[in-house]
Structure 1
Amino acid sequence: MITQPQAPAPLLDPDEERRRVQTARLLAYRDDGPLVAVLRDRIGRGVPPVPAALLALVAVVAVGLGGVLDPGRGAIMLVPVLAMVVLVVPTAPRDHLGRFDWLVPPLIRGTEFLTIILLGLAAGTPKWLLFVLIYVVGYHTYDTVYRTRQSIWPAPWVFRAGLGWEVRLLLLGAGAALGLLTWVTAALSLYLGVLFAVESVTSWVRLDKETALAQASDDLEASPEEALEQTTGEADKA
């Protein structure tokens, strides 16, 4: 049987590959959700992410210090949420390769957590429940960072199912405006906790099984002397 010679695989430019991985990591750390996924291609080039994220943080801090949320319910509760969404969503199309663009994910996460706290305190939501929600989102962030540093990328559906920072905040803002923030926070914490925990555990278990199977396959192909050396560190010198 005659086969055509296979063309050699094109060599990747190391700098281009580094930029691609850096962009992918920072976009994963942002934890954008379905709303950003829909709008990203419709925004054009987007706006510089660092100034916009900083401005969003300043706006939320100003809302908190100004006592704007004191009524505890009503449309005014949507102000910090809308400020963050309007300012940060347009940054999504950017490649995040600027010198300080690594600041964007922590700025987004910090502003998200601050908004949750301000809404919860103004609406009288139990503090322990706010802590649970922040812990669940923080765990998801940690899991994402740890995986990508091991070159293991979470499936895209995880970010969509996790709603992203923008949909989570919109739900909380709507709940606060309607006087239902405690119930929305509890439901969101339960849903996200189960989702992130189950997906994380199953992914790591599956990875461990694949690693064990690959190791077993390598051991079957090794000679007895090589297998003994891998197990004990000493080859049989008989």
Structure 2
Amino acid sequence: MITHPQTAPVPLPDPDEERRRIQTARLLAYRDDGPLVALLRGRLGPGLPPVPTGLATLLAVAAIGASGVLSAGRGPIMLLPVLVMVLLMVPTAPRDHLGRFDWLVPPLIRGTEFLTIIVLGLAADMPKWLLYVLIYVVGYHTYDTVYRTRQSIWPAPWVFQAGLGWEVRLLLLGVGAALGVLTWVVAVMSVYLGVLFAIESITSWVGLDKQSALAQASDDLEASPEDALEQATGEAEKA
């Protein structure tokens, strides 16, 4: 009597646990954290509640911009809005982002990042069109990330590190503003990030199209002659 080896059944993942895992992964990707957060995340304990902290940070940066304390346009004071955001929002990274309103965290981070860029740029009296270019580049990266994850296509982790993350980008801008060279920092950052995000995005989408085409070709080759004839006949009738 010939017996076939019995294979142990593969346990199916818990649907609720899988949903939570995907939700956390998406929101962490939308945060666009960079190398500094990656370095500190495991050392910050449970972290701060992200939504209240994000709202407080947004209001604090707005208050700094409206107060006129950055009117000098250069000097260490220009680091104030950047340090407020970094010191408050970096400790929110360890959270699982599964709270009822935690979907607000990425737009709060992105909105506060853009507000900080605008506040620094206006205080330093730099060309406004250049501010728009940097905001557009970061916004394009955010849109591309959101759209891809909704298609279950995840950007490579190195993209977030090479893209510096919101925290390193703001620290570089703050230092540039303090030294009076913000225009040059914004220009270099815009070119670097624009090239990086554009090339990575185009390469990923082209690679996906090639994989889809190869999969379609494989399906066509595996189809039986009867299926192929039926498909051809159906397409001819439609025509």
TM range (shorter): over 0.9
Cα distance between partner residues in 2 of 1:209 and 1:50? 40
Residue 123 (str. 1) matches residue 124 (str. 2):
yes
* 1:47 matched residue in structure 2: 48
Q: Does 1:12 align with 2:13?
A: yes
Corresponding residue of 1:220: 221
Per the alignment, residue 77 of structure 1 pairs with 78
Distance 1:218 1:71, change over 3 A: same
What's the counterpart of residue 59 of structure 2? 58
Shift of 1:10: 1.3
SS at match of 1:227: helix
Q: Give, in angstroms, the shift of residue 4 of structure 1.
A: 5.2
- Counterparts of 2:127 and 2:64, CA distance in 1: 21
Q: Distance in 2 between matches of 1:228 and 1:118?
A: 65
Deviations 1:58-117 (A, max 9, x none): 100000110111000000000000000011000000000000000000000000000000
- Give the number of equivalent residue pairs: 235
1:137 aligns to what? 138
- Gap runs ≥5 in structure 2: none
User: 2: CA distance between counterparts of 1:45 and 1:208?
Assistant: 41
Residue matched to 1:101: 102
- 2:32 corresponds to: 31
C-alpha contact (below 8 Å) 1:45/1:94 kept by paired residues: yes
Aligned residue number for residue 110 of structure 1:
111
Distance in 1, Cα, partners of 2:201 & 2:121: 28
Q: Which segments of 5 or more consecutive residues in structure 1 lack a partner in the other structure?
A: none
- Please tell me the residue identity of whatever aligns with 1:115: T
Q: Offset at 1:225?
A: 3.5
Determine the C-alpha separation between the residues in 1 that align with 2:146 and 2:233: 34
CA separation of 1:68 and 1:227: change in aligned 2, threshold 3 A:
farther
Q: Is the 8 A contact 1:229 1:235 kept in 2?
A: no
Report deviation, 1:234: 4.7
The separation in 2 between residues aligned to 1:4 and 1:233, in whole angstroms, is 45
Query: 1:226 Cα deviation (Å)?
Result: 2.2
- Give, in angstroms, the shift of residue 229 of structure 1: 4.5
Question: How far off its partner does 1:8 sit?
Answer: 2.1
Distance 2:230 2:139 in 1: 42
SS of 2:46 mapped into structure 1: coil
Please tell me the residue identity of whatever aligns with 2:77. I
Indicate conservation of the 8 Å contact 1:226/1:235, yes or no: no
- Alpha-carbon deviation of 1:7? 2.1
Residue by residue, what CA displacement relative to the aligned partner does 1:165-218 show, whole Å, maximum 9, x if unpaired?
Answer: 000000000000000000000000000000000000000000100110011001
* Contact residue 228 and residue 234 of structure 1 kept, 8 A: no
TM-score, with structure 2 as normaliser = 0.95
Q: How does 1:169-180 map to 2 (within 5 A)?
A: 169-180=170-181
Aligned to 1:154, the other structure's residue is in SS state coil
CA distance in 1 between counterparts of 2:65 and 2:4 reads 70
Q: Secondary structure at the match of 2:111?
A: helix
Deviations 1:17-50, CA, capped at 9 Å, x for gaps: 0000000000000000000000000001101000
Secondary structure of 2:195 counterpart: helix
- Give the superposition deviation at 1:3: 8.4
Q: Which runs of 4+ in 1 moved over 4 A?
A: 228-232
Task: Tell me, in whole angstroms, the C-alpha distance in 2 between the residues paired with 1:39 and 1:78.
Answer: 20
- Superposed displacement of residue 223, structure 1: 1.8
Deviation at 1:235, TM superposition (A): 8.4
